[in-house]
């Protein structure tokens, strides 16, 4: 059994995007096994267990990931993760990966795949609501697929937004008011909000939105009017209904599962697409265990490992 500790090194972002796209295609074809993630509530946060089997990569395993919002006060990241990989022929555990940064990257890659297929343009203004680790991951991954010529970012903490804008090089990037950040071609929301912060009237026709922040019951970032106005694609139907951007509007009866246009996997395999250039499209990401397997495969190929005795 091997323990991969510095998993984010030696990883090529384009390789990740391609692997994640393939995983979504498998999901669209219905050839993966992936029950909805299971939540356990702890006093100051929660953790999720995410098992899956991806036959195309002959890979099976479980990602275990926590969300503890007060962690930064203790010098720890809010989200940390481990992935355990099993040999599919015998079930023996073959690898354990520090999957904290891999989680950021595979979520960024899903956003990149969504933007690649659903954005109405190839040269874009990127709007970022929230400027934390996931905003960075989305920006990095999307820039592999589309030409970003301008970045407009906003954070509840304007200092964070300024810092983010300054750190981005090679693009025109600046911190702007919330409303201005929504005026773009591809909008990415990565906040932990529990009330809508992006109003429908701020978003122009034809915009593609990656709604990333909502990943647990009660979370939402977008005005429900936007969902009704746009075409909503989810990563996984049952996970999205439970914990995605659509979970609150569905639980309140103002949006319905029948209103969901399809899954990103169906988009990747050509079964579904944006209706017109003027359509608003929304990718509702909750994060799939098959994304964790796909990126684990890359990390295991390229990374360095510590050998551990097992059995």
Distance CA 163, CA 95 (A): 37
Please list the active-site residues.
63
Between the alpha carbon of residue 304 and those of residues 2, 80, 273, the distances in Å are 9, 20, 40
Please report whether residue 286 would count as binding a copy of itself according to CB under 8 A. no
Please report whether residue 297 would count as binding a copy of itself according to CB under 8 A. no
Smallest distance, a copy of itself to C-beta of residue 289, A: 10
Smallest distance, a copy of itself to C-beta of residue 57, A: 13
Residue 122's CB is within 10 A of a number of other CB atoms, namely 10
**Contact range with a copy of itself by CB under 8 A, out of 50-58, 159-167, 228-236, 260-268:** 50-58
Place of tokens 């300024």: 162
Please report whether residue 84 would count as binding a copy of itself according to CB under 8 A. yes
Torsion angle of the four alpha carbons 79, 84, 85, 88, in this order, in degrees rounded to the nearest 10: -130
Query: Of the candidates 18, 22, 56, 100, which one interacts with a copy of itself according to CB under 8 A?
Result: 100
Smallest distance, a copy of itself to C-beta of residue 7, A: 11
Q: What is the CA radius of gyration of the chain?
A: 19
Smallest distance, a copy of itself to C-beta of residue 70, A: 8
Residue 261 is classified by DSSP as: E
Query: Of the candidates 18, 56, 71, 238, which one interacts with a copy of itself according to CB under 8 A?
Result: 71
Between the alpha carbon of residue 221 and those of residues 246, 249, 296, the distances in Å are 10, 11, 29
Please report whether residue 76 would count as binding a copy of itself according to CB under 8 A. yes
Smallest distance, a copy of itself to C-beta of residue 310, A: 6
Distance CA 265, CA 55 (A): 16
Query: Of the candidates 11, 13, 29, 49, which one interacts with a copy of itself according to CB under 8 A?
Result: 49
Helices and strands (H, E) in the chain, number of each type: 10, 15
The closest of 205, 251, 243 to 226, measured between CA atoms, is 205
Between the alpha carbon of residue 106 and those of residues 109, 159, 216, 229, the distances in Å are 5, 27, 18, 28
Q: N- to C-terminal Cα distance for the chain?
A: 9
**Contact range with a copy of itself by CB under 8 A, out of 57-65, 176-184, 195-203, 218-226:** 57-65
Closer to a copy of itself at the Cβ: 100 or 144?
A: 100
- Give me the residues that bind a copy of itself (CB under 8 A), please: 3, 5, 33, 35, 38, 40-47, 49, 51-53, 60, 62, 64, 66-68, 71, 74, 76-77, 80, 82, 84, 86, 88-93, 96, 98, 100, 306, 308-311
């Amino acid at each position: 059994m091997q323990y991969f500790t510095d998993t984010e090194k030696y990883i090529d972002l384009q390789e990740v995007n391609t692997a994640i796209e393939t995983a979504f295609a498998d999901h669209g074809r219905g050839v993966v096994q992936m029950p909805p993630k299971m939540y356990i509530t702890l006093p100051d946060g929660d953790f999720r267990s995410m098992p899956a089997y991806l036959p195309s990569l002959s890979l099976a395993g479980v990602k275990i990931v926590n969300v503890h919002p007060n962690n930064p006060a203790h010098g720890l990241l809010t989200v940390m993760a481990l992935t355990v990989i099993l040999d599919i022929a015998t079930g023996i555990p073959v690898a354990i990966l520090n999957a904290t940064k891999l989680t950021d990257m595979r979520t960024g890659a899903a956003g990149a795949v969504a933007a690649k297929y659903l954005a109405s343009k190839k040269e874009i203004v990127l709007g970022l609501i929230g400027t934390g680790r996931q905003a960075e991951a989305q920006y990095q991954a999307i820039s592999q697929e589309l030409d970003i010529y301008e970045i407009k970012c906003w954070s509840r903490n304007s200092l964070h937004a300024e810092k983010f804008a300054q750190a981005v090089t090679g693009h025109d990037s600046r911190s702007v008011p919330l409303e201005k950040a929504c005026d773009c071609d591809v909008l990415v929301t990565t906040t932990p909000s529990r009330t809508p912060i992006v109003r429908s009237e701020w978003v122009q026709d034809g915009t593609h939105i990656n709604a990333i922040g909502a990943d647990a019951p009660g979370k939402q970032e977008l005005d429900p009017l936007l969902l009704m106005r746009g075409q909503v694609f989810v990563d996984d139907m049952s996970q999205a209904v439970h914990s995605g951007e659509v979970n609150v509007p569905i639980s309140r009866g103002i949006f319905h599962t029948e209103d969901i246009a399809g899954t990103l996997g169906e988009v990747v395999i050509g079964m579904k697409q944006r209706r017109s250039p003027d359509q608003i499209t929304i990718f509702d990401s909750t994060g799939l265990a098959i994304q964790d397997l796909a990126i684990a495969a890359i990390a295991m190929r390229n990374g360095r490992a510590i050998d551990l005795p097992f059995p």
